[in-house]
C-alpha cells in the first residue's frame, strides 16, 4: 500500500453524523483554494474559478458534485479526533458527502489540499459501507471502511459509489505520504496500526 496508511483512531460516527446534519453545506466546486497563492498567474479564489482558468490554458478538469460542510475544529466530536493526532499540523477540515452514482474522476487535490488527508468513514443511518473504491492512476484500489491517511498529491478517483457516503476529511499538509510512512515505521505516533 504505497498510497494509503491505515490508522487507529477513536471517533463517534453518530456524533459526527448529527453534527454534519446541523451544518450548512456547499458544493466542493465553490470552495476556496487553500494554496491559491502558489499558482502563478491565477487570481481567482474557488475551485470552480481555477477550473475555468485552467480551461483557458487548454487543461480540462472534470466537474465535481461532492457536497461539503466545514465544521468547527473545536467542536467536541471533531476535537476528539484532532487531539489524537498529537503534533501533526492540521489543515482544511470538512465533511465530504458523495451521492450514489456520482463517481469521482481522476484528480489531484492540490491546490485545495496538499500532501496527505486523514479520511474517517462515517457509518450511521443512511450512510453505510458501500462498494466504492478509491483508486490511484497506476496504483492501488481501496475500499475505505476504516480510518486511513491517503496521498492526495498523486492522481486518484472514486468509482462504484453505489450508495451515498459520508467522510470526515482532515488535511495533513506538512508531510508527504512517504514521510508519514517513515514515521509509521518508527512508531513516532500512537495512531499507527
pLDDT at 186: 73
* Rounded CA separation 110/187 (Å): 28
According to the model, what pLDDT value does residue 93 have? 98
CATH top class, domain 4-27+65-186: mainly beta
The pLDDT of residue 191: 67
pLDDT more than 70, % of the chain: 96
Q: List, for residues 117-153, the tens digit of each pLDDT value.
A: 999 999 999 999 999 999 999 999 999 999 999 999 9
What local confidence, expressed as pLDDT, does residue 193 receive?
52
- Helices 13-22, 76-83: crossing angle, 10 deg rounding: 130
The whole-angstrom separation of Cα 122 and Cα 132 is 14
Q: Give the residue extent of every domain in the chain.
A: 4-27+65-186
pTM of the model: 0.91
Amino acid at each position: 500500500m504505497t498510497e494509503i496508511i491505515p490508522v487507529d483512531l477513536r471517533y463517534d460516527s453518530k456524533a459526527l453524523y448529527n453534527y454534519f446534519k446541523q451544518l450548512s453545506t456547499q458544493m466542493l466546486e465553490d470552495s476556496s483554494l487553500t494554496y491559491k497563492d502558489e499558482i502563478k498567474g491565477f487570481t481567482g479564489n474557488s475551485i470552480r474559478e481555477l477550473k475555468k482558468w485552467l480551461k483557458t490554458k487548454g487543461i480540462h478538469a472534470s466537474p465535481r458534485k461532492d457536497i461539503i460542510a466545514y465544521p468547527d475544529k473545536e467542536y467536541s466530536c471533531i476535537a476528539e479526533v484532532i487531539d489524537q493526532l498529537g503534533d501533526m499540523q492540521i489543515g482544511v477540515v470538512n465533511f465530504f458527502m458523495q451521492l450514489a452514482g456520482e463517481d469521482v474522476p481522476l484528480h489531484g487535490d492540490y491546490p485545495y489540499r496538499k500532501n496527505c488527508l486523514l479520511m474517517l468513514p462515517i457509518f450511521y443511518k443512511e450512510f453505510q459501507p458501500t462498494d466504492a473504491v478509491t483508486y490511484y492512476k497506476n496504483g492501488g484500489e481501496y475500499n475505505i471502511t476504516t480510518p486511513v491517511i491517503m496521498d492526495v498529491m498523486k492522481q486518484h478517483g472514486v468509482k462504484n459509489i453505489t450508495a451515498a457516503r459520508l467522510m470526515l476529511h482532515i488535511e495533513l499538509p506538512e508531510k508527504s505520504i512517504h514521510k508519514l510512512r517513515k514515521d509509521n515505521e518508527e512508531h513516532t505516533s500512537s495512531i499507527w496500526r
